[in-house]
């Protein structure tokens, strides 16, 4: 299981990579391993404003439907359209190829409520919920 | 209360991801649903289906009793033959779907769905009045493995002297040795592939599992979980109780008319089913492919002519066909092949089209 140090994590198993006001979001290696074979990712529309905690994407594996929650509030400024054709990237490359969306944050202070890599790793070791 | 099959420790040891299913702790997958699905289609997969229920029906009136209880014509069975049949309530709703094994003129074994064991047993007992039969639930004494896939016979032949090539589809041998254990062996399954189901004593399940896995090691055999069992049976359009069949869905509505023999004499549900057939069904099971992106899941609304015209009973990504497929119970006028439908997925409508069933049929 991989927990890159430079990322932040939510207890809902999203990862967040912060560059200035932009937060790139995807689901974690732990999350994809729990979901199994991913066959579809429903992407948000760009321009949509989201609140932290709101469902903004859906990842479907063969067996399960999983809501993906926005870990921070803001506006969706980019989505990874490649996932339309290669949803399996979520399993193969959860932190690189399978980013889901970029949110331009309206309240970067929300980042303080997220976990660092060590805390998230511990959270998953305890069962992750 | 959740129960464990005799193979629980083996599932953990093989890396199975355990979930609760119908009161049982069972693996949903080991290596991955798609990989396991492909193994069963192309090579072989081994399933633990010990959660399934078994009921013995014995006695001089066993045949007459079963004829009344189920919709298929049990009199057509020869010794050591297996029959698939729905079992109905008097109102035509479905109690369960099951396999009947004829061991002898007065001796039958019923294999029923795990989640329905208590309900079926109770129903079967309540229907014995006037028949000289005994009905015994032997589920807890019986384990079951399913070896499925085109290489199933090749693999099994390494650990048994039984003449496997002489066991026809839906026939069985009552007592044979596999890996030194006494088992009942049938050429049956729930995947749309060739294969065998092996009934054994609980204490023999783990040694048999290991012997089969060893025999299949060089043949591409994978341990297979509930996840691919569902995608395999959906491609083959085999009904799943609680989805395509239920107390509210008759076998005729589920497209199982072939297993309802209205001319065999009286049976539970016959009057209603006969009326459904004569008057025409108001709703029917349709197979569909999603032509828009997305995955249709059970209970999603089906939209036709601008209104809800039914609902999805099962839906999934199909690993063999690489399409998103499903079954839906819809008003009859919308069930014809080529009919355009929409499936409401999280508030948005995705286009779908009714296609021929089954979605997958093995060659040969």
The CA-atom distances, in angstroms, between B89 and each of B120, B131, B216 are 11, 18, 43
Of A36, A40, A65, the CB nearest to B33: A36
The number of domains in chain B is 3
- pLDDT digit string, tens, across residues B53-73: 999 999 999 999 999 999 999
- Known binding site for substrate: residues of B? 197
**In contact, B100 and B110? CB cutoff 8 Å:** yes
- Whether residue B362 lies inside any domain: the answer is no
The number of domains in chain A is 1
Are A62 and B293 an interchain contact pair (Cβ–Cβ within 8 Å)? no
Of A36, A60, A65, the CB nearest to B32: A36
Residues in chain B within 8 Å Cβ distance of A63: 28-29, 33, 227, 230, 316
- pLDDT digit string, tens, across residues B69-83: 999 999 999 999 999
Are B319 and A84 an interchain contact pair (Cβ–Cβ within 8 Å)? no
- Whether residue B114 lies inside any domain: the answer is yes
Question: What's the burial of B136, exposed, middle or buried (CB within 10 Å: 0-12/13-18/19+)?
Answer: middle
Residue by residue, DSSP assigns A80-113 as -THHHH-TTHHHH-TTTTT--EEEEES-GGGGGG
- Which residue range forms the structural domain that includes residue B65? 53-126
- Whether residue B196 lies inside any domain: the answer is yes
Nearest CA in chain B to A62: B317
Residue range B327-340: average pLDDT? 98
- pLDDT digit string, tens, across residues B3-24: 999 999 999 999 999 999 888 9
- Element (DSSP H or E) covering residue B304: strand B301-304
Backbone angles phi, psi at B327, to 5 degrees: -120, 145
Q: How far is B153 from chain A (nearest CA, A)?
A: 29
A55 touches chain B (CB under 8 A): no
- Whether residue B87 lies inside any domain: the answer is yes
Residue A1: pLDDT band with limits 50, 70, 90: confident
Residues of chain A numbered 60-89 and touching chain B (CB < 8 Å): 60-63, 65, 84
List, edge to edge, every strand of the sheet that includes B107-112: B82-88, B94-104, B107-112, B53-58, B134-137
pLDDT on residue B63: 98
Residue B364: pLDDT band with limits 50, 70, 90: low
Total beta-carbon pairs less than 8 A apart between chain A and chain B: 40
Residue range B225-242: average pLDDT? 98
- Whether residue B131 lies inside any domain: the answer is no
Strands A8-9 and B17-21: unpaired
Tell whether B204 and B245 lie within a shared domain. Answer: no
ipTM of the complex in this document: 0.86
Of B234, B261, B291, the residue that ends a domain is B234
CA A77 to chain centre: 15
Are A36 and B29 an interchain contact pair (Cβ–Cβ within 8 Å)? yes
- Whether residue B133 lies inside any domain: the answer is no
Residue range B135-152: average pLDDT? 98
Tell whether B221 and B304 lie within a shared domain. Answer: no
Of B17, B34, B346, the CB nearest to A62: B34
Tell whether B13 and B119 lie within a shared domain. Answer: no
- Which residue range forms the structural domain that includes residue A89? 8-107
Tell whether B268 and B341 lie within a shared domain. Answer: yes
- Whether residue B296 lies inside any domain: the answer is yes
Closest CA to A10 of A120, A112, A126: A120
Tell whether B224 and B289 lie within a shared domain. Answer: no
For tokens 């189920």, name the residue: B70
- Element (DSSP H or E) covering residue A68: strand A65-69
Tell whether B225 and B245 lie within a shared domain. Answer: no
Tell whether B257 and B333 lie within a shared domain. Answer: yes
Of B201, B234, B267, the residue that ends a domain is B234
Tell whether B47 and B58 lie within a shared domain. Answer: no
Tell whether B71 and B187 lie within a shared domain. Answer: no
Of B234, B267, B302, the residue that ends a domain is B234
* Gap between the Cα atoms of A23 and B330, Å rounded: 44
- Known binding site: residues of B? 197
**In contact, B310 and B248? CB cutoff 8 Å:** no
- Whether residue B162 lies inside any domain: the answer is yes
Are A40 and B317 an interchain contact pair (Cβ–Cβ within 8 Å)? yes
Residue range B252-261: average pLDDT? 98
Residues in chain A within 8 Å Cβ distance of B324: 39-40
Tell whether B212 and B330 lie within a shared domain. Answer: no
Of A58, A63, A84, the CB nearest to B346: A58
CATH of the domain at A68: 2.40.50.100
Strands A101-105 and A55-61: unpaired
């Amino acid at each position: 299981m991989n927990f890159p140090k430079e990322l932040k994590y939510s207890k809902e198993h999203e990862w967040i990579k912060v560059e200035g006001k932009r937060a790139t979001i995807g689901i974690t290696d732990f999350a994809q391993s729990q979901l199994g074979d991913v066959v579809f990712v429903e992407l948000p529309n760009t321009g949509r404003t989201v609140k932290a905690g709101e469902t903004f994407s859906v990842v479907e594996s063969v067996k399960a439907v999983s809501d993906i929650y926005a870990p921070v509030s803001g506006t969706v400024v980019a989505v990874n359209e490649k996932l339309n054709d290669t949803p399996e990237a979520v399993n193969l490359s959860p932190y690189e190829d399978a980013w889901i969306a970029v949110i331009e944050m309206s309240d970067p202070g929300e980042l303080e409520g997220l976990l660092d890599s060590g805390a998230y790793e511990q959270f998953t070791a305890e069962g992750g919920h | 209360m959740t129960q464990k099959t005799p193979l629980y420790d083996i599932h953990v040891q093989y890396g199975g991801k355990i979930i609760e299913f119908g009161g049982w702790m069972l693996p949903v997958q080991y290596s991955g649903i798609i990989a396991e699905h492909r193994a069963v289609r192309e090579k072989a997969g081994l399933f633990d289906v010990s959660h399934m229920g078994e009921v013995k029906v014995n006695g001089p009136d066993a045949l007459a009793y079963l004829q009344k209880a189920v919709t298929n014509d049990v009199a057509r069975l020869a010794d050591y033959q297996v029959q698939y049949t729905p079992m109905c309530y008097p109102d035509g709703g479905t109690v369960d779907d099951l396999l009947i094994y004829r061991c002898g003129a007065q001796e039958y074994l019923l294999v029923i769905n795990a989640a329905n064991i208590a309900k079926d047993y109770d129903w079967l007992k309540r229907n014995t009045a006037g028949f000289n039969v005994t009905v015994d639930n032997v589920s807890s004494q019986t384990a079951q493995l399913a070896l499925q896939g085109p290489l199933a016979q090749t693999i099994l032949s390494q650990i048994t002297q039984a003449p496997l090539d002489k066991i026809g589809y839906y026939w069985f041998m009552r007592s044979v040795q596999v890996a030194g254990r006494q088992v009942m062996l049938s050429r049956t399954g729930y995947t749309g592939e060739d294969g065998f189901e092996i009934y054994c004593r609980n204490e023999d399940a783990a040694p048999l599992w290991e012997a089969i896995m060893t025999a299949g090691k060089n043949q591409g055999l994978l341990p297979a979980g509930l996840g691919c069992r569902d995608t395999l049976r959906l491609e083959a359009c085999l009904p799943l109780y609680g989805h395509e069949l239920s107390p509210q869905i008759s076998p005729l509505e589920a497209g199982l008319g072939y297993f309802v023999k209205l001319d065999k004499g009286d049976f539970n549900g016959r009057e209603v089913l006969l009326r459904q057939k004569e008057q025409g069904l108001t709703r029917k099971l349709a197979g569909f492919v999603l032509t828009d992106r997305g995955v249709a899941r059970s209970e999603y609304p089906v939209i036709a002519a601008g209104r809800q015209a039914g609902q999805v009973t099962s839906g999934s990504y199909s690993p063999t066909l690489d399409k998103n497929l499903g079954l839906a119970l819809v008003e009859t006028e919308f069930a014809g092949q080529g009919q355009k439908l929409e499936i409401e997925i999280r508030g948005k409508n995705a286009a779908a089209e009714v296609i021929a069933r089954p979605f997958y049929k093995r060659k040969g």
